[in-house]
Amino acid sequence: MNRYCLTVTCPTRRGIVAAISTFLAKHDCMITDSAQFDDQATGRFFMRVSFTPEEGADLDTLREGFEAVARLLEMGWAFHDEACKMKVVIMVSRFGHCLNDLLYRVRIGALPVEVVAVISNHMDYQKAVVNADIPFHCIKVTPDNKPEAEAAIMRVVEETGAELVVLARYMQILSDQMCRVMSGRIINIHHSFLPSFKGANPYKQAFERGVKLIGATSHYVTADLDEGPIIEQDIVRVTHAQSASDYVSLGRDVEAQVLARAIHAHAHHRVFLNGNKTVVFPASPGSFSSERMG
């Protein structure tokens, strides 16, 4: 049986949940999971509903029928087929732990995405990527060719039909224009617990401040460096006995896990932009299950 989900954002008002559940019931759809949040500070309402059409209603029929409901309640909305894997382009430089972790998770079915290309400004991971039957593009970036390099990157994104770009420790700053064009469609992993220690060498910054916790932050990319809406974060404890290089090593596992969780949430349509913040709903039952364990 098909499994779909509906995502909704709209101004807060009475009757939203009733309107959605009534519509789905009239189309013989069984709700299997639902999450909602009413942000009283902004007056915005957010909802995600997973459901199965028991009488075979297709997405086109549901979309056509839902337009009147959405118009009445001023909704931003979308229906999604949960069986469809999101197309993703991964970008990486010379630190490969996040890339390798993502490729493994995709291979065992733990992430509902299809990696349609890997882009790097170095050749370090060409063999690993090609061996995984994924197209590899080496696009060198220098101060003199940055516009041309970004144009080449965007061609890969457009030609592959990628819905999401993942910066898996890609150590180049994207232009303001690319950030605007791809707003809400680029996820970065920052090797620090933002908003502290932005920019370069955050582990060195943390070491010099003698912190007792280091972490990683996955966020949407904006023109403001390391200040995009945060999707996922986690930490690991350190002591005075660790060195700056220990921080780097300890941080690798946290970075990989945080980035994977952020992509999982985005690919399952659980993340909603809410100004400079995000609303991230819990995962639906069964969404973490893998096809195999190796």
pLDDT tens digits, one per residue of 79-131: 999 999 999 999 999 999 999 999 999 999 999 999 999 999 999 999 999 99
Please pick, among 33, 133, 144, 226, the residue that the annotation labels catalytic. Answer: 226
pLDDT at 294: 54
Superfamily of domain 86-280: Formyl transferase, N-terminal domain (3.40.50.170)
Asked if the domains at 4-81 and 86-280 fall in one CATH topology, the answer is no
pTM beyond 0.75: the answer is yes
Model pLDDT, residue 131: 96
176 catalytic, yes or no?
A: no
Tell me whether residue 26 is exposed, middle or buried, using C-beta atoms within 10 angstroms of its C-beta: 0 to 12, 13 to 18, 19 or more.
exposed
What's the pLDDT at 125?
A: 97
pLDDT value, residue 293:
59
Collect the ranges in the chain with pLDDT lower than 50. Answer: none
What does the pLDDT read at residue 211? Answer: 82
pLDDT of residue 182: 96
Q: What is the pLDDT, as a whole number, of residue 24?
A: 98
Structural domain spans, the chain: 4-81, 86-280
pLDDT of residue 31: 97
- Provide the CATH number for the domain formed by 4-81 in this structure: 3.30.70.260
